[in-house]
Structure 1
Amino acid sequence: MSVNDCPAIKTPEVLLAALELAEDGVVIVDAGRRIMHFNAAAERLWKLPRADALGRDAGILALKCLADPVVDVRDEISLVRCDGSRLRAAISLSTITADGATYHAVYVRDVTEEAERRVRIGLLNAVSDQTNRAVIITDTELKIRYTNAAFATVFGYASDEAEGRPVSELLAGRHTDRRALARLGKRLMAGGRGGEAEVMLYSKDGEEIWVVARIDAFRDRKGRVKHIFALLEDVTETKQLRSLQQLITVALADEVPITEIADRLCRRVEEIAPDVVCSLLHVDAAGFVHPLGGPSLPDVYSRALDGVAIGPEVGSCGTAAYYGKPVLAVDIDRDPRWQPYKAMPLSIGLRACWSTPVKAKDGRVIATFAFYYREPRAPSRWHRRIVDACVNLGALAIERKEARAEIARLAYHDILTGLPNRVQLRHLITAAIDECRPGSHVALAFLDLDHFKDVNDTLGHAAGDELLVELAHRLRAQIEPSDMLGRLGGDEFVVLLPNRDAEGAARVASRITEALAEPLRLGARQMQMSASIGISIYPDHATDIDTLMQQADAAMYKAKQAGRSTHRFFSADMNGLAEQRLVLTAALRRAIAEDQLSLRYQPQIRTADGAIHGVEALARWHDADLGDVSPAKFIPLAEECGLIEQIGLWSIREACRQMASWRRAGLDIPSVSVNLSPINFRNVLLAKHVGHVLAAHDLPADALMLEITEGAFMQERAVALETMKAIRALGVGLSLDDFGTGYSSLSRLAHLPIRELKIDRSFMRDIEADAGALAIATAVVRVGQGLGMTVVAEGVETEAQRKVLAELGCDVVQGFLYAPALTPVAFERWLLDHGAARAKAMRDHLDRTPADAVPVKRSAAHSA
């Protein structure tokens, strides 16, 4: 039945058509609750054909409002359709009277999407007030309609202060990138997707705040923008300041020059603080400043600063460096500290300067970090946060630069004498040969001190080092400025004599022999000093550097055979020396096969409490025919003839056997260190071998420390590094021996699995009196401990040296101060004596302590 079929309702055709076209469902029922009209929208809403609805009881529509339709109703309900599905619907009920009859018209609209949207908005409101990110919703004119709680926290505006105000008026400022925001807004309005921008905004009190703004739009069904939504994350510290840290650490790892690091730092600071012009000045040991970074300052200004002495009235930077405190000149033109210097900054538009000292870990001012401003003003809170980060980063960069410069110097110079080392000597000899004109000669003299081992064994290494330094002084005095002197190592020196033939070289050798004949005073002793000198001539004897050096070395051995304290030139019959080396090599092979090598043990002592840290195992060789053969002779020989790996593996087995024996005897020795050759680390099975040895002697992995030199990772680095990692994975420690005497690289050191860093004995000379030696030792201690390593100092001969190292924070020391390398039995006696001495010292200390002072510690000490 249709509406037109009902005699009580006369529906015009035009009205009927309008009802059919309506988007809302329209249902008309009579007083008897019969459905009189059911339009097309109603069919879709209820999923019920019109023919099945007309004339039927309205109860099939499940509308409670029709159960007793006495008043008009407006409501939002959950509508159950005929197929059992549900939707959210807005309904309104109207009562109609026509021709004396009463009808009820129900208008139904599907609001499911709107209801879900309202729920989502409600949830978003709840979430937005819980997040720490600021939320802003604006209309299409960018006037604020909503802000969350975090917005008030970040920017200082309450919601009623913000609502209705344009975003640009409230948050944008001088350095806000308005164009980036405008591009996003334009894209949104054109129907594009949202995006993000990193911009500087300003809080209510004018402080700069860097944010990542994620911006999008709320749209209606037709895609038209109704509101703009922005999520603002404060990245002032988490991103901007960390970007500075990353910039510095990456540059340091890549070993970028310090001037480039300073330039990058200043540029980055000026990006995140556009109000400032940044400058970093280095302050040298003499108190003069030198520009490191200042890319926005004119070159003429930077050059004018170079070499200016710090002082109490020297602008902002000079004064800050002098007093070690930040200095702010709000107005350069009027500040008394700037009067002699103000013309140049004022001429380039700089009106204020805030300078902060950069200090090393020992408190020295090593740089100043300055912010210049183009108007008289003080730094903002954001600027202070930047400087707090940059002074630490600047200190790290400059200290690393100083350490790197020193280590670079050590890579080519002998630490004890300051002479060119083996690496640099090869460069010098090669250059001299390349520059040798036709008909000219180059003489190469190898010099080896006679009976030097006796000095070390009787007077100690400190006396031996003093002797070597004096030898270097005397040698320098006997050669010309164009000649070159270097130290190969130990007591071996090289004199390079460009443009000298045999006659000229002989005169120099004779002068050296005469100069060394004068006795040398070492402390209270007078000692005779002499040297054996071997000379080879380019191009008479050889035309390549390696042969030339071998010939000079052979001639030097010939001079020793001739009675020492003389010189010899290379001759063909000296090739017999090669035969002697063959004899020595055979004897060494026999010694290894017949287990004639032995280990001596030198204790390592903790500076904090005097307890034993461990022992270093040192290889020794006594031959029935050759007598005691120095490690300085047989270790290089073993490397040359391919025996060094066997010696290393034997040393590990013997040291672990001895450790197991000591532990069974109840001796508490924490660990034993074994020296290995770089060749050992090219063996991919080394870690497996070490594991088997430890297991065989039932030793924990931390009972063994393997000492390596920098040469272990100079060649076949990948293989050596994998071997090192495998050893560390076992739990066995790795110690870098003779640090600073080779090819030290901080970036490489930071990535090696090293647990311990050993300072070479050459660093110990006069450490208590020589500022240079002290500075070097200090740098090495800081590098090691900064990388989380234990630092061990070798060659400690005196209590003064030990005290200095303890004050530097060096963890462990070893040397003649405590004991030489000892046989196992002698070491056991020494260990008992050392333990007794420590116990006595502790008792004496406690006896001197008042009875009522720290009773708990006294009891603990006695119980121990």
Structure 2
Amino acid sequence: MLASEFQPAASANLLSAALDRVSEAILFLDAEGRVHHANQAAVALLRRDLKDLIGADLDRLGLPAEQLRAMTKSEAEAPADAPHAAEAGDAGREMMLRHADGSRCRVRAIVRDLPSDHAPMHSLLLLRDVTSDVEMRERNALLTSVADRSNRAVIVTDHELKILYTNAAFCSIFGYSSAEVLGRQVETLLVGPCTDPATVERLKQCVEDDRGVEDDLMIYDKAGCEIWTTAHVKAHRNQRGKVKYLVGLLSDIRETKQLRSLQQLIMSSLASDIAIATIADQLCRRVEELAPDVVCSILHVDSGGRIHPLGGPSLPADYSSGLDGVAIGPDVGSCGTAAYLCEPVLARDIDSDPRWQPYKAGPLGAGLRACWSTPIQGKDGRVIGTFAFYFRECRGPSPWHEQIVAACVQLGALAIERQEVRSTISQVAYHDMLTGLPNRARIPSMIAEAINACPEGSHLAIAFLDADNFKDVNDTLGHAAGDEFLVAFANRLRAQIRPGDMLGRLGGDEFVIVLQNRDALEASLAAARITAALAMPLTIGKRQVPMSASMGLSLYPDNATDIETLIKQADGAMYKAKRAGRATYRFFSADIDKLAEERLMHSTALREAIASEALTLNYQPQICTRNGAIHGVEALARWHDPVLGEVSPSKFIPLAEECGLIEQIGVWSIKQACQQMASWRRAGLDIPCISVNLSPINFQNVNLAAVVAQILAANDLPAKMLMLEITEGVILNERATVIATMSELRNMGVGLSLDDFGTGYSSLSRLAQLPIHELKIDRSFMRDFENDQGTRAIVTAVVRVGQSLDVKVVAEGVETEPQRRLLAELGCDAMQGFLFARPMAAAAFSRWLLDYSAHRASLMLRQVGRALAQAAGVSEVSEGERLSPAAIAAAS
């Protein structure tokens, strides 16, 4: 054989052998698209014998022939010089290969036309199985989709901390696109001036130690704004244990952990009754931890529109103190202006801002260049404070700052409103609501303060005053006139005392004055001046009312050194002045023992009155606000002595307490009231319950509940028909016996009512712990109730307290229709007062109740009649027209 004949055959064999070693499937096609030759990889991929492949059409082999022909045509039609034509063709096209057994796989096909000198082979088809590649690609796409749906930022780096991957949440939180971060160092991208280096090092060390770690870290976004995150970092190592990748999960905790911890801190402090200054300090310090580039400040705005620093631990002390008392206005820095305008105010440059010119020296001296202040509003919309951020550079707040302030403004409002409520409660607890003077609860500490301030060798005088003939004013002109009298009396006393002196109201018509640095002569001159000032008559309405006072004085330290004794001595001297003809004053002296004898005489007379049942009970109705029905009736003790005349309960009740007679009066009152109640029930009068006043001393008797049970049983009365009224002094009594007695009575079903609420011993912290059924608003609250917003706000608060404690609220001293209407609007449960009836004897009350019930029934019938008349088309029903029972039933 010639070499020229051997070479083509040998070349063909070599080429076939070479093609069989190629991993990709190769098929040579003729012009009709039939297989002319195939390598072993094609045999394996197409799952056919070589003899079956030769001459086979592509459709028979499970390949999409139309797609392949289209690929060939598009390549043939493409200009030879088209840019990137070769590259596009090299990429091939993915398509589905269907095997004879029904299975399928994904292949990438590339078609190439062969030169014409290769005839009969027309084109070359290369196939590569890409099933695993497609699955991997789809799996990666799924993982990317899942990562992009997470609200946690995902970041993957190599061992040198160069970023390889970030998800959509990362781009959203930090403001970068994926292209901007790929290949960049994490630290140069995210770490900023306030990022804690120790936390960063701790994260790195935990990664080196192959420990997953989670820590809070402040990092920065593309705009340079601070973002608090919780960073969880985990290392992925190769088979040799070397770190290959680092995966970090970053959670934005600005609105979760950090702000929630801030809220929990402040709410815990509020619940613990911590002082507002301490709470404000805690709030500012915690905020400055969350935002290290700010200095925080909280101001209180009082009802007069003046600001008072509450918190600002990082501000200069002299600057903060200089703000105290400054009035808000349109040009008062950032805080004063924000409070005035009721909107946030930003001063980007304090030095040049015109609103800051009178005040800028303080912050500029401390290196503070900008200030952003937000008003704090109460529930009623009133601005009650401001929350401010000071910056060390000329700038405005970041979104993170705005979120902090949004949370802190609410916390500040809670703290300030709580403080205002506490101040109101303190005002109620320690100040007389009628005159605004310190009350019985405050006077002892007031005297103690005066004694502590008294220089060595100096004196002070305690003056005890009792208004003469005050009962006559009350009984003749009514309680409103009596209140007006007491207010005018207090104002005259205020006008006569000098700075440093103290004035208080013990209750009723009794007042105390502390005259500082006065010896006997100076105290005498002051007493004479006060007596003269009170001598001028007072005009109430169109009537002139005489005004005077009996005054007793005791001297510290000449007469006594303890407060209780000083008050008692002054009280005794006051009775001496009354016996001297009133409208005068007397000093305590040794002959005060005679006064004690007289008081003994009074106590003897009271004892005899109790023994002979000379005391009587008067009855005053209580009316349901909702429907006008009888809520109950209060039994009021009265004493008329043949010699002493009509003695006010405000006189003989304290005397009975001093003389140890109060328990007898209490038990007698319960017996009389229950007997009367039983009598009314037998007469068919429907009265839900009867209230009896008791002294706190009664509740110190461990047998009180048993005595009450015996009286109820003797009169065949259910326990719920008896209500025992407790004076507020019981709140101060911490004896276990008192609380146990009250609880025993309540368990029996006997009602307990807190009487004269707010007159001297109010304590809301103790109120919630008492087993009471009813809360009575003292009649002193009714003065100016119709017009005074402050009084109305306090009455509203008392009603809301009753509602929150689920106890009935009864208002005393209701004398006008507007008062009744306002109390009804507030939801007060019941009312009593001269508007409905004065206290009266039992027989008179029976007649009143029958008349009242008949009047109510008549009104109801007329209302039904009018309704039926309207329904029947009758324009009017005559006053005397009567409706049949059937008609009334139909109307019902």
Cα distance 1:739–1:256, how it changes in 2: closer, same or farther (>3 A)? farther
- 1:448 is matched with which residue? 466
Q: Of 545, 569, 583, which aligns to 2:604? A: 583
**1:79-478 map, 5 Å:** 134=152, 141=159, 175-177=194-196, 179-180=198-199, 182-187=201-206, 189-190=208-209, 196-200=214-218, 210=228, 236-237=254-255, 239-329=257-347, 345=363, 348-375=366-393, 378-408=396-426, 411-427=429-445, 429=447, 444-476=462-494
> What is the CA–CA distance in structure 1 between the aligned matches of 2:188 and 2:676, rounded to whole Å?
81
* Cα deviation code 1:613-637 (max 9, x no counterpart): 9446343134675765432234323
How many matched pairs? 725
Give me the whole-angstrom Cα distance separating, in 2, the residues matched to 1:356 and 1:794. Answer: 44
Q: Counterpart amino acid of 1:368?
A: T
Q: For 1:236 and 1:726, how far apart are their aligned partners in 2?
A: 53
Matched with 2:7 is none
- Give the Cα–Cα distance (whole angstroms) in 1 for the partners of residues 705 and 242 of structure 2: 69
8 Å CA contact 2:607, 2:661 repeated in 1: no
Contact 1:614 1:673 (8 Å CA) reproduced? no
Q: Deviations over 1:91-137 (max 9, x none)?
A: xxxxxxxxxxxxxxxxxxxxxxxxxxxxxxxxxx9xx9999985969
SS of residue paired to 1:574: helix
Contact 2:753/2:772, CA 8 A, preserved across alignment:
yes
CA distance in 1, matches of 2:578, 2:293: 74
- Structure 2 residue 634 is matched with structure 1 residue 617: yes
Displacement after TM superposition at 1:302 (Å) = 2.8
Q: 5+ residue gaps in structure 1?
A: 1-124, 853-859
The percent identity for this pair of structures is 58
Q: Secondary structure of 1:277's partner? A: strand
User: Which residue identity lines up with residue 205 of structure 2 in the other structure?
Assistant: K
Q: 1:280 to 1:228 in 2, by over 3 A?
A: same
| Partner SS, residue 366 of structure 1 | strand
Please name the residue that 2:547 is paired with. 529
Give the CA deviation at 1:583. Answer: 0.9
Matched, 1:716 2:737: no
Q: Is the 8 A contact 1:610 1:838 kept in 2?
A: no
Alignment partner of 1:795 out of 792, 813, 836: 813
Question: After the TM superposition, which residues 14-53 of structure 1 pair with which residues of structure 2 at under 5 Å, given as runs?
Answer: none
After superposition, the Cα gap between the structure-2 partners of 1:483 and 1:306, relative to the gap in structure 1 and judged at 3 Å, is closer
Which residue of the other structure, out of 816, 819, 823, is the alignment partner of 2:837? 819
Cα distance 1:242–1:137, how it changes in 2: closer, same or farther (>3 A)? closer
Other structure's SS at 2:572 match: helix
> Matches of 2:529 and 2:705 in 1, distance apart?
53
Q: Structure 2 vs 1, CA of residues 341 and 510 (structure 1 numbering), >3 Å: closer, same or farther?
A: closer
Match for 2:853 among 832, 836, 858? Answer: 832
Q: Is the 8 Å Cα contact of residues 588 and 634 (structure 1) preserved in structure 2?
A: no
Could you say what the CA RMSD is over the residues aligned between the two structures, in angstroms?
Answer: 5.6
Q: Distance in 2 between matches of 1:329 and 1:425?
A: 49
Q: What amino acid sits opposite 1:828 in the alignment?
A: L
Counterparts of 1:844 and 1:266, CA distance in 2: 68
Deviation at 1:203, TM superposition (A): 7.7
Answer yes or no: is the 8 Å Cα contact 2:435–2:490 preserved in 1: yes
Cα offset, 1:461, TM superposition = 1.6
SS at match of 2:849: helix
TM superposition shift of 1:492:
1.8
Question: CA–CA distance in 2 between the matches of 1:559 and 1:755?
Answer: 43
Structure 1 letter corresponding to 2:419 = K
From the superposition, tell whether residues 410 and 179 of structure 1 become closer, same or farther in structure 2 (CA, over 3 Å).
same
Q: Which moved more, 1:683-692 or 1:494-503?
A: 683-692
Determine the C-alpha separation between the residues in 1 that align with 2:246 and 2:711.
71
Distance 1:754 1:402, change over 3 A: farther
Contact 2:338 2:386 in 1 (8 A): yes
Q: Distance in 1 between matches of 2:235 and 2:683?
A: 80
Taking the aligned partners of 1:158 and 1:597, their CA distance within structure 2 comes to 92
What do the CA deviations read for 1:691-740 (whole angstroms, capped 9, x no partner)? 99999978696x77665455334342666567667777888876554444
Q: Cα offset for 1:842?
A: 7.8
Shift of 1:281: 1.9
| 3-state SS of paired residue (2:404) | helix
| Contact 1:248 1:393 (8 Å CA) reproduced | yes
Within 5 Å, give how 1:622-701 maps onto structure 2: 622=639, 629-642=647-660, 644=662, 675-679=693-697
807-816 or 155-164, which deviates more: 155-164
Q: CA deviation at 1:309?
A: 3.4
Query: 1:353 deviation in Å?
Result: 3.6
Residue identity in the other structure for 1:318: G
Give the SS at the match of 2:813. Answer: coil
Separation in 1, partners of 2:716, 2:242: 81
Amino acid at match of 1:617: E
Please say if residues 337 and 345 of structure 2, whose CA atoms lie closer than 8 Å, have aligned partners that are also in contact: yes
Instruction: Sort the Cα spacing of 1:205 and 1:619 in 2 relative to 1 into closer, same or farther, 3 A.
Output: farther
- Mapped partners of 2:753, 2:163: distance in 1: 64
Cα offsets for 1:507-564 (capped at 9, x unmatched)? 6555555554433211122223343344555666656544443344334334444554
Q: Distance in 1 between matches of 2:396 and 2:384?
A: 24
Q: Is the contact made by 1:446 and 1:552 (CA closer than 8 Å) also made in structure 2?
A: yes
SS in 2 for 1:287: coil
Q: Is the contact between residue 217 and residue 226 of structure 1 (CA under 8 Å) also seen in structure 2?
A: yes
Shift in CA distance, 179/817, structure 1 to aligned 2, threshold 3 Å: farther
Residue deviations 1:120-156 (CA, integer Å, cap 9, x gap): xxxxx9xx99999859696884789999999999889
Would you say the 8 A contact 1:682–1:716 is kept in 2? Answer: no
Counterpart contact for 1:202–1:208, Cα < 8 Å: yes
CA distance in 2, matches of 1:543, 1:350: 55
Q: Does 1:603 align with 2:622?
A: yes
User: The residue matched to 1:617 in structure 2 has which SS?
Assistant: strand
For the residue of structure 1 that corresponds to 2:760, the secondary structure is: coil
Gap runs ≥5 in structure 2: 1-142, 874-887
Q: Which whole-Å deviations, capped at 9, do the CAs of 1:587-620 have from their partners, x for residues lacking one? A: 36537xx6965363442554xx564694463431
SS at match of 2:634: strand
Q: Can you list the C-alpha shifts for 1:205-264, whole angstroms capped at 9, x where unaligned?
A: 988665556677789999998987877776544544444444444444554443332222
Letter in 1 for 2:337: T
Q: Tell me the CA shift for residue 409 of structure 1.
A: 5.0
State which drifts further: 512-521 or 449-458. Answer: 512-521
Aligned to 1:9: none
Q: How much does 1:366 deviate?
A: 1.9
Partner of 1:417, secondary structure, is: coil
Conserved in 2, the CA contact under 8 Å of 1:781 and 1:808? yes
What amino acid is the match of 1:598? L
TM-score (norm 2): 0.65
